[in-house]
């Protein structure tokens, strides 16, 4: 039995999704489907990437936001809309409102990345910064809606939003009719629920796999309990799926139609983002890379052809820099080492010569001379190295030991 609360919103049907697709004609792009030879070799079957990171506003969120706002009554449109988001939903609501001639007020956390704040304003919304976390921002938006009569546009917990997101599923079946597995990231659940409604109605044998970040995985315990439950203090770099509690409407659909929900770790997310950038030449945010992370974690678990939905590409450049470095470290392509040298002329040059001999590229060097743990003639050196994989990291460590250096843990 699917979870339903008394008086909960109506279910979402294939006709709803098809109606949303007509509504979105000329508004949302039918995004590209790109094959990945690297992932196909890994999985042993064709793997395709559904590039919602190339959607207008940089994510799938425009689809649901536009359908929800377009469905408002004239008096509701006149009152305006309000939303709360740290990024993708904010931009989707802003553009949808602008296209429909509706005033939008978007509450964003004070710490939201500046590029996302600027983009939301440029799409035409009034941006108000409030709170340090999304929960505080959400409360402020709901208070604003109650005080002004503006319609609150939920990011995932509404049938119209889910129907709009479900148009991704229709496009997948049109672009890859032979698909056997669809992998999609899950935060609140709107995208996965919409895709499931569309795909299962037309191709019930297609397996749909949801993916959550391990530090923000509210769906596994919720599915086990048979109702939405909260995860306290969700933590992940994948802010697009960093949701502490499933939505009531998408939960009921996912419980019934999604075949499996998996979790991935931060190292796997970093590696997936790096793979998308290097191999597919696609800029994808961590949440958008979560299906690729699931493929990397257990490639043999998915029957092909596989479609992995890259849900968004709005990644803050500062986060991108950190994630890329993290991803390189996870793949053994970035190595940080600390060791002690005798503080004399030529000691550093000798060390760099050892590293050069094993083709380790030095990215950064720092010296510490004032630590009380150091001897009078000692200096501690930390080096950040670019390496060529785990085997090369082992080779670097062995070369340092053979040269008489002791690496500090």
Q: By CB neighbour count within 10 A (0-12 exposed, 13-18 middle, 19+ buried), where does 402 fall?
A: exposed
Round the CA-based radius of gyration of the chain to a whole number and report it. 24
- CA separation for the pair 337, 339 (Å, rounded): 7
Residue 61 bears catalytic tag: yes
| Closest C-alpha to 197, from 281, 254, 128 | 254
- Catalytic residue (one of 36, 50, 59, 61): 61
Q: SS3 for the chain, per residue?
A: CCCCCCCCCCCCCHHHHHHHHHHCCCCCCCCCEEECHHHHHHHCCCEEEEEHHHCHHHECHHHHHHHHHHCCCHHHHHHCEEEECCCHHHHHHHHHHHHHCCCEEEEECCCCCHHHHHHHHHCCCEEEECCCCHHHHHHHHHHHHHHHCCEECCCCCCHHHHHHHHHHHHHHHHHCCCCCEEEEECCCCHHHHHHHHHHHHHCCCCEEEEEEEHHHCCHHHHHHHCCCCCCCCCCCCCHHHCCCCCCHHHHHHHHHHCCEEEEECHHHHHHHHHHHHHCCCCCCCCCCCHHHHHHHHCHHHCCCCEEEEECECCCCHHHHHHHHHHHHHHCCCEEEEEEEEECCCCHHHHHHHHHHHCCCEEEEEEEECCCCCCCCCEEEEEEEEECCCHHHHHHHHHHHHHCCCCEEC
- CA separation for the pair 331, 269 (Å, rounded): 12
- Catalytic residue (one of 36, 59, 97, 311): 311
Residue 8 bears catalytic tag: no
| Closest C-alpha to 329, from 381, 382, 269, 239 | 269
Q: Which residues are catalytically annotated?
A: 61, 311
């Amino acid at each position: 039995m699917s979870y339903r609360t008394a008086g909960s919103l109506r279910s979402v049907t294939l006709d709803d999704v098809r109606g949303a697709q007509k509504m979105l004609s000329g508004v949302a792009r039918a995004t590209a489907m790109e094959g990945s030879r690297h992932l196909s070799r890994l999985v042993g079957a064709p793997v395709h990437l559904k590039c919602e990171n190339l959607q207008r506003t940089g994510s799938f969120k425009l689809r649901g936001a536009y359908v929800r706002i377009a469905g408002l009554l004239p008096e509701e449109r006149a009152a305006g809309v309000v939303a709360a988001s740290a990024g993708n939903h904010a931009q989707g609501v802003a553009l949808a409102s602008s296209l429909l001639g509706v005033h939008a007020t978007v509450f964003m956390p004070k710490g939201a990345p500046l590029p996302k704040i600027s983009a939301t304003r440029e799409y035409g919304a009034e941006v108000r910064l409030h709170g340090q976390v999304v929960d505080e921002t959400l409360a402020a938006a709901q208070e604003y809606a109650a005080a002004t009569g503006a319609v609150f546009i939920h990011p995932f917990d509404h049938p119209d939003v889910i129907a709009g997101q479900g148009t991704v599923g229709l496009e997948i079946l049109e672009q890859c009719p032979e698909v056997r597995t669809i992998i999609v990231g899950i935060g609140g659940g709107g995208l996965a629920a919409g895709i499931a409604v569309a795909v299962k109605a037309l191709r019930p044998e297609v397996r749909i796999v949801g993916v959550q970040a391990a530090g923000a995985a509210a769906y596994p315990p919720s599915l086990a309990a048979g109702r939405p439950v909260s995860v306290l203090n969700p933590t992940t770099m994948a802010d697009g799926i960093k949701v502490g509690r499933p939505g009531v409407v998408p939960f009921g659909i996912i419980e019934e139609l999604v075949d499996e929900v998996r979790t991935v770790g931060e190292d796997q997310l970093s590696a997936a983002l790096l793979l998308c950038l290097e191999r597919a030449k696609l800029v994808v945010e961590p949440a958008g890379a979560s299906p690729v992370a699931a493929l990397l974690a257990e490639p043999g678990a998915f029957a092909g052809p596989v479609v992995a939905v890259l849900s968004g590409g709005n990644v803050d450049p500062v986060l991108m820099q950190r994630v890329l470095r993290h991803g390189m470290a996870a793949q053994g392509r970035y190595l940080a080492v600390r060791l002690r040298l005798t503080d004399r002329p030529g000691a550093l040059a000798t060390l760099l010569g050892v590293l050069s001999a094993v083709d380790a590229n030095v990215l950064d060097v720092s010296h510490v001379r004032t630590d009380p743990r150091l001897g009078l003639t000692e200096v501690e050196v930390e080096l950040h190295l670019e390496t060529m994989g785990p085997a090369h990291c082992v080779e670097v460590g062995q070369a340092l030991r053979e040269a008489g250096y002791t690496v500090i843990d």
